[in-house]
Amino acid sequence: MEEQGLNSDTSNLSPTGTEGAQVTQKPMFRPHHRITFHGSNMQYLGLALYNLLLTVLTLGLYYPWAKSAIRKFLWQETEIDGSRFDWHGTGKEMFRGFIKAYLFLGFFFLLINFGPMFLPPSSVIWVVLFSYLVILAFVPLAIHGAMRYRLSRTSFRGIHFGYRGNLKEFYGKVSLDFLFTILTLGIYGYWLQINARRYVMKHSRFGDVSAKFNATGGDFLGLTIIQGLLIAVTIYIYMPWALINFYKFYIENTGLEQNGKTYYLKSDARGGDFLWVLLKSAFITIISLGLASPIASLWIHKFYIESISLSGEFDFDAIQQTEKSYKDATGDDIADILDLDF
Amino acid sequence: MTIEAYFIDGQTSKRRACLVTLQANAISIVYYDDSLQKLSSTWRVDAILRQDLRTTSNYIKYGDFPHQVLEFNSEQDLSRIIEYYPEALFHQSAYNKFSTFGWKGMVSALVGVIMVAVFFFFYGVPFIADSFARSIPKEYETYIGNNFRQTYLQYQTIDTLRSEQIQQFYNQMNLESDYDISVVVVDSKIINAFALPGGYIVVFSGLLEMLEEEDELAGLLAHEASHINERHSLRLISKDLAMYVLFASLTGDVGGFSSILIENSNLVSSLSYSRNFEKEADLEGFDLLVNSEINPKGMISLFAKFQSINSKMEQELAKKMGMDSTDLDESSDTAKAWFVRFIENVPEILSTHPIPENRIRYLEEEMSQLDPTLTFRENDSLKLYFDKLLKTSKVSVDSSHLGFD
């Protein structure tokens, strides 16, 4: 059932590039651009096993190469308007980031996990507290670095994505919001998250197309309260629907601005379908004793990503290259270790 | 050979229909720009960017940033290019070779992963961790042990008088050890004792109450001293640490949930590791005693005591559950009897210590192998200190925890 309906929309979108100057005359109605995902389960499983073997053999040193290959697979199998995305990152770049991230954070995680055994009892609590603070202080840097690296290494039809955020400015905003969050006993955390996302999106580019995130912390808090209530009332049965509503919140508030006009992404994901995918994934993972878990995660990825569409008026043929070359993968790995998903 | 494709120039996202002609060492591309002017580009085959992962995408890239891109109409068209330049680097990679093995490659990779993981898990990591623990300087080990001891004793009542007495007893034993071992008695009903790295032994008064002969105390202390001599606790910690580092680096997850996973997946292997250490401490303790001319039979009678307390508790539980004492005979196969036996005798595989029966068995085997001409010293002085210890205050005993670590 994975392979059905993949090419239905893209056939309408045959490129108009050959007509040259005539492109200004567009038809009144253009079908939505839909994302399709072509990755084959077995191909992905093979890649995951290959990665696992090399990672184990090299005692984990192969991990950055593995991560890069997985990302390349996911990007290259993702199609919109008849073209694929591309991932330019390399294992070598990510290895450098990996080493830096591990030297920084590994030390503090070791302190937290094993410090109580080795440190004088009176100082343990301070050392652990300090370690947590240091790790926390890394979060904005991780987001900044990861965005810069990931976006600069992603392209579509030769046009690179990019991130123009300013680290100092970002730290300033986040620190202030963090202070408010403590003062409001965590409630302002909803604004903290959304404001950070707004900042990051606002400074993300796809060539000369810029992105934006439209929701506020209040919207996010409201959504969380309603979904939380529904989850509680239904004793967690509502969970898949809630997850989809959060996903749609993130996707549908994301807009792309081209020629002064903003086009918002759409997601037609539905909770019932998601529940089915989750059940299927759990089943195959359990029945294979975890060996097929890459396939399960691919199903979930496919479900999420294929639900996305974009107004047909957005012109994928008219994007100008604006990025310069950029290399540094440290943030990417810090983000990975801290399990930040964005 | 000519192929129809799309050309993207790296400046804009515009796809331009083009004709691709394959030459010996280059690809020539002819396309039209917006003003319908005919343009061309030539790609040197050796500068086509490497596509180290064969996916269903059908484009190739060329040159420095910003790259030019050729998008083909089908995978077949891309395959024709690859076949035309079989030696070219842009489509060679280890993974592409691996993927040509199909399911055989996958199965081999899987078997390889399992074999390597098993090897590391059971041999590699314990070996590295052990060597590491053994190479830690003694001073640092004592420092760590002292930390442990301080943290632990903060919340305990120390029986200073009996601590002094037991220390004198230990000194009289005159066991071989590289460590300056100090013994502390903690006031508690629990029947337990344990050793900390660097030369600290903690004995609970509950355990002292059940001792009747100086040999038994000597056996207990020799067992704990062997833990210290062999650095057992440090080696256990070091193994846990190494497992943590291994899992974290394999999963790339330093902080998160893999540490929980390890704790659990590691449990059974840690238990067997710890059982091996206990057995080692029994046997080494046995040798220590013999070398100091102390009769090691006390060790055996100590474990016999644990055994008898165990069966007493079995019977108490059986009584509580409304069973006759005869219901607990070896032959009785009722569910209740099984349950009582299970509760009071945790199966060895789930226990940190070998079961007392086994410990008695291998110690008796050691006894039988002792040189019959061997003599043991008259333990008058040991007996003296032991009697002093016994005379000092008594507490009631809680046998829910039984044994010593």
Domain ranges of chain A: 90-152
Residue A9 — very low, low, confident or very high, per pLDDT cuts 50/70/90? very low
Say whether A121 and B14 touch across the interface (CB within 8 A): no
For residue B70, the chain A residues in CB contact (below 8 A) are none
Write down the H helix ranges in A58-120: 63-76, 91-101, 107-118
Residues B176 and B29 in one domain: no
Spatial separation of the C-alpha atoms in residues A293 and A291, rounded to whole Å: 6
The mean pLDDT value of chain A amounts to 85
For the stretch A260-269, pLDDT in tens is: 999 999 999 9
Q: Decide if A7 contacts A36 (C-beta within 8 A).
A: yes
Say whether B95 and A39 touch across the interface (CB within 8 A): no
Say whether A43 and B120 touch across the interface (CB within 8 A): no
Point out which residues pair with B60 in neighbouring strands.
B70
For residue A14, the chain B residues in CB contact (below 8 A) are none
Alpha carbon of B55: minimum distance to chain A alpha carbons (Å): 7
Residues B33 and B170 in one domain: no
A84: three-class secondary structure by DSSP: strand
DSSP annotation string for B141-168: HHHHHHHHHHHHHTTS-B-HHHHHHHHH
Stronger pLDDT, A120 or A313, i.e. the higher one: A313
Residues B49 and B197 in one domain: no
**Percent of chain B at pLDDT above 70?**
83
DSSP annotation string for B321-371: TT--GGGGSTT---HHHHHHHHHHS--GGGSSS--HHHHHHHHHHHHHTS-
In the chain, the amino acid numbered A298 is L
Point out which residues pair with A271 in neighbouring strands.
none
A7, A53, A62, A67: best to mutate for the B interface, most B CBs within 10 A: A53
pLDDT given at position B262: 52
H/E stretch holding A248 reads: helix A239-252
- Nearest by CB to B14, from A45, A67, A317: name it: A317
Residues B190 and B279 in one domain: yes
pLDDT given at position B110: 86
pLDDT given at position B63: 85
Stronger pLDDT, A111 or B258, i.e. the higher one: A111
Q: Decide if B270 contacts B350 (C-beta within 8 A).
A: no
pLDDT given at position B381: 81
pLDDT given at position B318: 75
pLDDT given at position A201: 96
| B320: in domain | yes
A338 in contact with B at a CB cutoff of 8 Å? yes
Spatial separation of the C-alpha atoms in residues B133 and A248, rounded to whole Å: 52
The domain that holds B6 is classified in CATH as: 2.30.29.30
A18, A110, A323, A325: best to mutate for the B interface, most B CBs within 10 A: A18
pLDDT given at position B309: 79
Q: Decide if A111 contacts A127 (C-beta within 8 A).
A: yes
The residue-averaged pLDDT of A64-81 equals: 93
The residue-averaged pLDDT of A4-18 equals: 41
Range with lowest mean pLDDT among A140-154, A168-182, A211-225: A140-154
For residue A72, the chain B residues in CB contact (below 8 A) are 52-53, 55
Q: Is B334 left (phi over 0), alpha (psi -120 to 50) or beta?
A: beta
Largest CA distance in chain A: 77
Say whether A156 and B13 touch across the interface (CB within 8 A): yes
pLDDT given at position A6: 39
A156 in contact with B at a CB cutoff of 8 Å? yes
This prediction's pTM = 0.71
The residue-averaged pLDDT of A86-106 equals: 83
- Nearest by CB to A49, from B9, B11, B110: name it: B110
pLDDT given at position A1: 38
Stronger pLDDT, A6 or A116, i.e. the higher one: A116
pLDDT given at position A8: 40
Stronger pLDDT, A244 or B89, i.e. the higher one: A244
pLDDT given at position B256: 47
Residue where a domain terminates, one of B51, B76, B99: B99
Strand order in the sheet with B182-186: B182-186, B200-204, B193-196
Residues near B105 by Cβ (< 8 Å), separated by ≥ 6? A46, A50, B98, B99
Residues B208 and B298 in one domain: yes
pLDDT given at position B250: 62
pLDDT given at position B333: 62
- Domain span including residue B191: 158-230+271-391
Spatial separation of the C-alpha atoms in residues A202 and A210, rounded to whole Å: 7
Residues B290 and B379 in one domain: yes
Residue where a domain terminates, one of B99, B128, B149: B99
Q: How many residues does chain A have?
A: 342
Say whether A63 and B249 touch across the interface (CB within 8 A): yes
Q: Which residue has the tokens 């030390």?
A: A107
Tell me the pairing of strands B26-32 and B16-22.
antiparallel
For residue A119, the chain B residues in CB contact (below 8 A) are 147
For the stretch A172-193, pLDDT in tens is: 999 999 999 999 999 999 999 9
Tell me the pairing of strands A78-80 and A266-267.
unpaired
Tell me the pairing of strands B68-72 and B193-196.
unpaired
Residues near B176 by Cβ (< 8 Å), separated by ≥ 6? B288, B291, B292
**Percent of chain A at pLDDT above 90?**
55
How many domains does chain B divide into?
2
A59 in contact with B at a CB cutoff of 8 Å? yes
pLDDT given at position A341: 44
Q: How far is CA A78 from CA A86, A301, B58, in A?
A: 9, 11, 12
Q: Which parts of chain B register pLDDT below 70?
A: 248-273, 324-335, 337-352, 379, 393-405
Alpha carbon of A254: minimum distance to chain B alpha carbons (Å): 21
Stronger pLDDT, A307 or B378, i.e. the higher one: A307
pLDDT given at position A296: 94
A293 in contact with B at a CB cutoff of 8 Å? no
Residues B199 and B93 in one domain: no
Residue where a domain terminates, one of B82, B99, B116: B99
The residue-averaged pLDDT of A330-341 equals: 57
pLDDT given at position A323: 77
Q: Decide if A36 contacts A59 (C-beta within 8 A).
A: no
Alpha carbon of A100: minimum distance to chain B alpha carbons (Å): 13
Q: Searching chain A, which residue's CA lies closest to the CA of residue B101?
A: A46
Residues B177 and B323 in one domain: yes
